[in-house]
Amino acid sequence: MLTSTVLAATINTEGIVSEAVRLIVPILCLIIGIGIIASARKGRISDAASTLTLVVIGLVVIAAGGVLFAFAEEITGLVIA
């Protein structure tokens, strides 16, 4: 008679996510900043300004999504109640 046992492992991803955010976000900001500075240095100030505007708008949208995700239950309670 053959018996097999399956072990269920849980992986804590909180540390992985926080480290990724701590390390990857500054690198992405550095790359975007270098691109904007290089574009402005070539004399394309308007392109650099529009790129910077789009980056800021994108960051605002991401932050708003995070806020909505964090407070979804409370917001739903306010709207429905």
The pLDDT value recorded for residue 5 is: 57
The pLDDT value recorded for residue 8 is: 56
Tens-level pLDDT at each residue, the chain (81 residues) = 555 555 556 666 667 777 777 888 788 888 888 888 887 887 888 888 888 888 888 888 888 888 887 787 787 787 886
| C-alpha distance from residue 26 to each of 11, 29, 61 (Å) | 26, 5, 18
The pLDDT value recorded for residue 65 is: 83
The pLDDT value recorded for residue 68 is: 81
C-alpha to C-alpha distance for 78 and 74, rounded to whole angstroms: 6
Whole-structure pTM over 0.75, yes or no? no
